[in-house]
Amino acid sequence: MMVIQSYCGVRFYVLILFLLSSYVSICGSAPAGNADIFENSTRPEIHILQGNIQGVNLVTRRNRIFFGFKGIPFAQPPIGNLRFKGPVPAGAWNGTLDGSIDSPPCPQLEGTVFIGDEDCLYLNVYTPRLPTGDNFTLLPVMLFAYGGGHKTGTNNPKRWGPQFILDKDVVLLVPNYRMGPLGYLSTGDEVSPGNYGLKDLVRALEWTRDNVRYFGGDPNQVTVHGGSSGAACVHLLTMSNSTNGLFHRYILQSGNALGLLFPHTKTQSAKYAAKLGEHLGCPTNTSIALVNCLRTFNASQLVDTTSVFTEWFVFPYVIWGPSIEPETEEAFITDTPRNLYARGMVRDLPSINLVVRDEGIVFSALFLNRQDLINEFLDKLHIILPYVLQYENDIDNMTVFADAVKSYYFNNLTVDQNIIFNNFSLFLSDLTVTYFSHKTIQEKALHTKSPQYFCSFNYRGTVSYSYFFSGGDTVNMGVAHGDELLYLLPGPKSQFGPPGYEFSEADWKMVDTMVQLWTSFADTGTPTTLDGSTTWMPYSRSLDNYLQIGDGSDTTLQMKHGYSVDRFRFLDELLAAVNLH
């Protein structure tokens, strides 16, 4: 296979690896500080099925005291013979667990530096109040799955702060789950069927069902939500029989499972596993020999193998991710999401599906001021496009597809370079997230009766993920992938804007808006606004209606109709012509 290496030097490549892998989710943290510890109060202590746990007192944005219980094991450490296997429930502990300690992330690269520990299957629980008696009213529960391209992420509150959401009466859980080869390596057979990260999320939901009432949460009112690849995981959770009854509503934010990247076929998964084994000197003649050999390596040796699979620039960006499993009782998913949707195998639950206006910035920001890279992409589009979109197993006629994409999005290469860059970003938006998110909600409407809500986040505040994706460029590139999470789950200030910035009055209004919409949906299944001035109507295929959240610096909410009609009609016709399957 051809490897194109003319794009840049080593220093730039290392910078890009750092930017892409250390953002911890494409949605990794937001710029409004962390929840402060409230010292002048007795630490909360409760008893759950595994034993006693002592938490910590925290303070919300609006100075409400709430309780955090961090580092709770929900599965046994997936080490030794448990590596490349589904999670095993954690047992009880002796004494009192100290719930003030952050757990380590699962193994991953932060830039080019290995971080994390295989003993990582812990979750955090945040609650505004604890049960006080038999008449206590249990609160709605929200479980968040972070993103990160299926290869980075953490549940650390410095990354995903609870202090915005906990101003409302909800219980929030954030679990760690495995990623990269440790989370998704599959041999395409029963030896290592894969999807361990997804199975970790199932185990976290089972733990939630069994334990959340002790924190004041209602196990019969669980909303699972995720951003980016975390949203794709959530979407897959809705298609697996292993999650029946474990959650009751869901929210997809800038991610879905109907796109081109995943799940891998069994054949493709086996090919990647064998390539990793060959790189590390393992036998690949049988799956058992390969997996037993891979278990002898340190986690860092398995994770630090990106260069083995890179073909051009940083692509294919995602190697390890969800895969189709053999038919067994323990299987998470055994058919493609597109096939499942075509057969009407869609979970009939209330849902929200969000996209942001300029999803493609997550990748196009890497090409800012790199016209040489864009030119190389356009010159060698037929070779490079399959690496960028990873569609070689999804369509039958790749040449027709590449020709049509180039003709539609790049029909005039003599125009201003800014126009070419904007079209490049638009192309990435459509074919990595937006088109398939819209298709998800359209297809679900054919098979279910529960209300679903579609929205486009178009607000551009003081800061943006584009600052991070571009390595600190302050140019306003638009509304970037992950920007809505800045107003839901805050973290370090330094990553999303220049030193010294503060949230504007409009930014804080957007915090109030997003928290109200998301938590009201978790509470009732219907997202409502603070003042009731705008009614978010459930999606209708005939109306193609959606809520536009903001417009540039304006925080206004508006119901609109007809989302990207012309572009999506083109993609409908093209993908039918090349037999997307």
The DSSP string of 132-172 is -STTPPPEEEEEEE--STTT-----TTTS--TTGGGSS-EE
**Cα distances (Å, whole numbers) of residue 424 to 89, 198, 256, 361, 430:** 46, 32, 21, 9, 10
**Cα(458)–Cα(434) distance, rounded to whole angstroms?**
13
Q: What is the phi/psi pair of residue 223, to 5°?
A: -110, 125
| Structural Rg of the chain based on CA atoms | 23
488 vs 174, 181, 210, 549, CA distance in Å? 13, 30, 26, 14
Are 432 and 360 spatial neighbours (Cβ–Cβ below 8 Å)?
yes
Q: Could you say which of 118, 359, 443, 484 is catalytic?
A: 359
The helix (H) or strand (E) run that includes residue 556 is: strand 554-561
Q: Give the 3-state secondary structure of residue 426.
A: helix
Residue 112 makes CB contacts below 8 A (sequence gap 6+) with 14, 17, 18, 304
Q: Are 41 and 56 in contact (CB under 8 A)?
A: no
Q: Which of 286, 252, 262, 6 is nearest to 144 (CA)?
A: 252
Residue 183: name the closest of 211, 142, 143, 145 by CA.
145
Partners of 72 in beta bridges: 123
> Catalytic residue among 25, 481, 484, 520, which?
481
Give Cβ neighbours of residue 446 (< 8 Å, ≥ 6 apart).
344, 541
Asked about 228 being catalytic, the answer comes back as: yes
Residues 506-512: contacts with CB under 8 Å, at least 24 apart: 506/461, 506/553, 506/554, 506/555, 507/461, 507/462, 507/463, 509/555, 510/459, 510/461, 510/550, 510/555, 511/32, 511/61, 511/164, 511/487
Structure tokens belonging to residue 359: 């999803």
What's the CA gap between 492 and 394, in Å, rounded?
39
**Given 3-state DSSP classes, what are the helix, strand and coil percentages for the chain, each rounded to the nearest 5?**
35, 20, 45
| CA angle in degrees (0–180, nearest 5) for 181-182-188 | 60
Query: Under a CB-based contact definition with an 8 Å cutoff, are residues 175 and 237 in contact?
Result: no
Asked if 6 is an active-site residue, the reply is: no
Residues 21, 22, 29, 228: which is the catalytic one?
Answer: 228
DSSP SS3 for 249: strand
Cα 193-198-203 angle, rounded to 5 deg: 105
Of 242, 191, 206, 189, nearest to 85 by C-alpha is: 191
Just list the catalytic residues: 228, 359, 481
